[in-house]
Amino acid sequence: MKKLITIIFTILLITNSVFAVEDTAEYLNIPFWQKFNDDILVENLLKVYHNNHDLKAAVLKTNEANRVVKMSFANELPHIGFEGYAGRIFKSSDELFGDVKIPNYAETHYYLPLTMNYEIDIWGKNHLITKSKKKQFEMVKQDERSAYIYITSAFAVDYFNLIRCDKLIDYQKQLIDLQEQAINFYKIRYEYGTAAIDEIDEAKKNLTYMKEDLAKLLEKQDILKNQISALLGDRAFEEIERNDYDSLNISFKTPDSIDFNMLDKRPDRIKSELELEKIGIDVKVAKRDLLPKFIITGNVGFNMYNLHSSHKFLADLGIVPSWDLFMGGRKLQLLKLQKDKYEIAVQKYEKTILTAIQETNDALYSMKTAENITSVTNDRLNTDIKELDYTKIKEGAGTADNLDLILQEEKLFISKKQAVSSEINKLISAINLYQALGGVDFTENNNL
């Protein structure tokens, strides 16, 4: 009995160690996010790691799949149980067995055995089922990894969009202030007869457009805050800690091209390959299910009618063969069904590869476009800065007035807004490329 308990305990230790779930902190890929030179971003991502409900659910699903593997592995081991019986036969009537007469009697029957059943895995079917469950477990782990990549990327995009919103709101308020000043100077010009009334009306109309744009920016700011709070798992929806746009110090070098071997680490690519392997195993299981089974069964314990009897020990052992000779073709159809699933998985695998290439190319082209637009926008911004300097010189020389200066400042702020948007778009395109590559740091072979 002690040896039996030791064996069971050892098996439990083995199953708990073989199928242990890995730590998920590496899925965050903190080294990549540190290259954004923003400690607040990294701190918030760690909060997402600890508090996000979708990530917690993904971890629990992985644990669930891990338990299914352990349950399947348990089917490869002997099943030991206890099925006892204690009963009393009361006096009733005589029993006749042909010419043999047994007078009525009363007695107590004790049947107290340990039972054991073990299917001899001659064809390796049960072990293949466990291997199939392991593949399913690894597929769920890829779903978990995909959730980490998606949610951390979504948070980073919202984070930088919020920083952009903050800066645009600041610029928009300054634009509104300048426009209000411009209206006053138009009125002064009108009094001197150098401006028409429709110019004042047009300036007022432009002011309403600016206020509408400010209202939209404030709305977007609130929405982004709510989205970020949800990703952080913050029910209180407290103020979001974030960096200032002017403090950003990020410069990713856009890759000229992408080595498509990097796509091998995409979660969907790995998952589709694992699915192929799993269904291939399921086909083998379906084939082996057509073969007979052999089950070892035995009992050891007590079988007695008298507690004081010396003949009460019970022990038996035998092999039970089992073979389903006819089931209406069910098992054969199951085999064909698994083969069909395998062909579907092959097509899905090919599509996954094409999708990975397409998404990566899209993200790379988007990043290149964002970089080109940023360059053009910065050129325009520099031109507007020079024009503002010229206007100041003209004002000092008396060939331009305050209104000309204000209008030029407005042009400059519009260019500044476009420059902010293009810079943030370039960052977001880098995050999209990171996500398209399945969480691979594409900057490792590029200077920052």
The span from the CA of 208 to the CA of 247, in Å, is 31
Whether 111 and 313 have beta carbons less than 8 Å apart is answered as no
Query: What's the pLDDT score for residue 445?
Result: 58
Inform me whether the pLDDT recorded for 18 exceeds 60. Answer: no
The label of the residue with tokens 């637009």 reads 373
The 3-state DSSP class for residue 239 equals coil
Of 113 and 281, which is predicted with more confidence? 281
Closest-CA residue to 62 (of 269, 342, 271, 352): 271
Query: What's the pLDDT score for residue 93?
Result: 74
Name, in order, each residue with C-beta under 8 angstroms of 35's C-beta and a sequence gap of 6 or more.
250, 252, 441, 443, 448
Inform me whether the pLDDT recorded for 4 exceeds 80. Answer: no
Query: What's the pLDDT score for residue 259?
Result: 87
The span from the CA of 228 to the CA of 382, in Å, is 34
Inform me whether the pLDDT recorded for 305 exceeds 90. Answer: no
CA atoms within 13 A on the CB side of 267: 19
Query: What's the pLDDT score for residue 198?
Result: 93
The span from the CA of 201 to the CA of 208, in Å, is 11
Query: What's the pLDDT score for residue 303?
Result: 83
Query: What's the pLDDT score for residue 437?
Result: 94
Q: Which long-range contacts link 386-395 to residues 24+ away (Cβ below 8 Å)?
A: 387/411, 387/412, 388/412
- 269: which 2 tokens? 């690519």
Q: How far is CA 165 from CA 21, 197, 361, 430, in A?
A: 40, 35, 28, 19
Mean of the per-residue pLDDT values of the chain = 89
- DSSP string of 55-115, one letter each residue: HHHHHHHHHHHHHHHHHHHHTTS-EEEE--EEEEEPP---EEETTEEE----EEEEEEEEE
Inform me whether the pLDDT recorded for 2 exceeds 60. Answer: no
Of 112-116, 250-254, 318-322, 365-369, give the lowest mean pLDDT range: 250-254
Of 96-100, 214-218, 425-429, give the lowest mean pLDDT range: 96-100
Inform me whether the pLDDT recorded for 11 exceeds 90. Answer: no
Hey, how many other C-beta atoms are within 10 angstroms of the C-beta on 106? 9
Supply the pTM of this predicted model.
Answer: 0.85
The span from the CA of 131 to the CA of 278, in Å, is 8
Inform me whether the pLDDT recorded for 306 exceeds 80. Answer: no
Q: Which long-range contacts link 178-183 to residues 24+ away (Cβ below 8 Å)?
A: 178/406, 178/409, 178/410, 178/413, 179/203, 179/206, 179/207, 179/210, 179/410, 180/207, 181/402, 181/406, 182/403, 182/406, 182/407, 182/410, 183/207
pLDDT band of residue 215 (cuts 50, 70, 90) is very high
404 beta partners? none
CA atoms within 13 A on the CB side of 93: 2
What is the share, in percent, of the chain residues with pLDDT greater than 70? 94
β-pairing, 293-304 with 100-102?
A: unpaired
Q: Which stretch, 20-29, 81-90, 109-118, 221-230, has highest mean pLDDT?
A: 221-230
Q: What is the mean pLDDT of residues 10-28?
A: 56
Closest-CA residue to 33 (of 156, 160, 162, 142): 156
Whether 316 and 296 have beta carbons less than 8 Å apart is answered as no
The label of the residue with tokens 């049960």 reads 126
Name, in order, each residue with C-beta under 8 angstroms of 211's C-beta and a sequence gap of 6 or more.
176
CA atoms within 13 A on the CB side of 6: 3
CA atoms within 13 A on the CB side of 273: 10
- How far the first Cα of the chain sits from its last, in Å, is 66
Query: What's the pLDDT score for residue 14?
Result: 45
The most distant pair of C-alpha atoms in the chain lies apart, rounded to whole Å, by 141
Q: How far is CA 14 from CA 118, 126, 128, 131, in A?
A: 19, 18, 18, 16
Closest-CA residue to 367 (of 413, 410, 430): 430
Radius of gyration of the chain (CA): 38
Query: What's the pLDDT score for residue 22?
Result: 52
β-pairing, 100-102 with 313-322?
A: unpaired
pLDDT digits (tens, 9 = 90+) for 140-198: 999 999 999 999 999 999 999 999 999 999 999 999 999 999 999 999 999 988 889 99
